Amino acid sequence: MRKRLTAGRLVPATAALALALGAAACGGNDNANANNTANRAANSASNAAGTVSNAASNTANAISNATSSATDTTLKNTVQANLTKYGVTGVEVEVNNGEVTLKGSIPRAKMQDALKAANESNPKKVNNQINAQ
């Protein structure tokens, strides 16, 4: 059984190539002109495919970035809640790509609680930039 392709279902690259080959065939015996037309059509088809690929890649990157940002926000909120649970104040929490950075000045006795609060939230890494007093 043969499938019929309708104009709406043709892949843009295939359509461009078919049009170019058809135009080249109408040009008579000028093989160089026909080859140039076919090459331009093939390049256009390739560029169109590249554009579609880039758009898909950009969309995937945007989704990944949005997911990473949401994950970082959740991680930051969890660390802050854990700090409150352990009674640690004076610590600023920054999160970037799953890595937690703790900044601020706290009593030396609270340092272990601050690090525990950060590590309990399962980050990729904890950067300790706290000044213990």
Domain assignment present for residue 4? The answer is no
Residue 5 lies in a domain: no
Q: Six-digit token pair at 12? A: 């843009």
For residue 125, being part of any structural domain is answered with yes
What is the per-residue pLDDT across 90-108, written as a single tens digit (0 to 9) for each? 999 999 999 999 999 999 9
* Of 73, 69, 65, nearest in space to 121 by CA: 73
Asked if the structure places residue 1 within a domain, the reply is no
Neighbours of 1 (CB within 10 A): 2
The whole-number average pLDDT for the span 75-93 is 96
φ and ψ of 127, to 5 deg: -100, 115
Query: What is the model's pTM?
Result: 0.52
Cβ atoms of residues 58 and 84 within 8 Å: no
Contact 33, 27 (CB under 8 A): yes
What is the rounded average pLDDT of the residues 56-68?
59
Query: How many domains does the chain divide into?
Result: 1
Q: Which domain holds residue 40?
A: 10-132
In a domain? residue 3: no
Give me the mean pLDDT over the 10-23 stretch: 54
CATH of the domain at 117: 3.30.70.1770
Query: Which of 28-32, 90-94, 99-103, 124-128 has the least mean pLDDT?
Result: 28-32
- Contact (CB, 8 A) for 111 and 130: yes
Mean pLDDT value of segment 59-65: 58
